[in-house]
Structures are given as C-alpha cells and as structure tokens.
Amino acid sequence: MSYKTLEVWQLARDVSIGVHRMTIDLLPKFEMYEEGSQIRRSSKSIRSNIVEGYGRRRYKQDFIRFLTYAHASCDETIADLETLQETGSLKDESLFKQLHDQLDRLGGKLNLFIQSVESQHLSVREEGVQYTVREETE
C-alpha cells in the first residue's frame, strides 16, 4: 500500500494543485509573492505532512503528530484563502467557495483519520510487545 491510496492524500493533492493554479492565474502580481506564496506553502504542507506521517506509520505517535500538522496546515490554508477573499485579491467567488469546500472536507477527513489512527492503529512496539502494523484506510 502507498500513501497515494489514502483519500486524505488524494484530497490534499487536489487542493494543493487548485491553490497553486489559483495563485498563478487569478491573484494580482503583488499577491503572488505575498499571500500567494504563503497559501501555496501551507497547502503543499498538508500533502507533505500526510506523506511524512505515512512514512512513520510504524510509530503511532509520529503518525498522529504528522497528521496533526497536516490538519493544522489545512486550517492555515483556509485562513489564508479567507484573507485573499476578504481583501478583494481573490475576486472569483465560485472558485473561493469551491476551494473552501474542498478544504473543509479535507479537514473533516483528516480529523476522522486521526481519530481512526488513535483508536485502531498499533505501533510496532507497544508496551514491549511486538505487533503487526495495521494500515488504515478511510
């Protein structure tokens, strides 16, 4: 199994691509290097933290920590998107709504995935006993 099969990663990929295109195509030039740069980084951080957490999935707490970072980056991306809309830099209301809805959905899925890992995932070693690693899917 690969991180690419995780629905949360697939959603994060779609969001990061959508945000990237939005910043290149629709934002004023001055915003490309200000808020545009920040929202691109935060959206790509969601995706990267899911990948890094998945790579550390043998260790439950590491997995949860990176999924939590991904969730926090999702919240940051929402705040950045709202700032662009509120300041008038992002004028396309339908694109704003589409990206906002995708980010809300991703945040909810990440929250559920974190809860699933917390309740069901076993580390390679818990309390000195060897376990097999369970791979979680949504």
Q: Where are the domains of the chain?
A: 3-130
Strand partners, 130: 125
Domain 3-130 in CATH 3.40.50.300: no
Place of tokens 């974190």: 114
Predicted local distance difference test score (pLDDT) of residue 124: 57
- pTM for the full model? 0.86
Contact call for residues 117 and 64 (beta carbons, < 8 A): yes
Predicted local distance difference test score (pLDDT) of residue 125: 53
Question: HEC string of the chain?
Answer: CCHHHCHHHHHHHHHHHHHHHHHHHCCCHHHHCCHHHHHHHHHHHHHHHHHHHHHCCCCHHHHHHHHHHHHHHHHHHHHHHHHHHHCCCCCCHHHHHHHHHHHHHHHHHHHHHHHHHHHHCCCCEECCEECCCCCCCC
Nearest to 112 by CA among 135, 136, 81: 136
Query: Crossing angle for the helix pair 60-86 and 7-25, nearest 10 degrees?
Result: 30
Residues of the chain under the 70 pLDDT cut = 123-138
Predicted local distance difference test score (pLDDT) of residue 111: 97
Predicted local distance difference test score (pLDDT) of residue 132: 43
Predicted local distance difference test score (pLDDT) of residue 123: 66
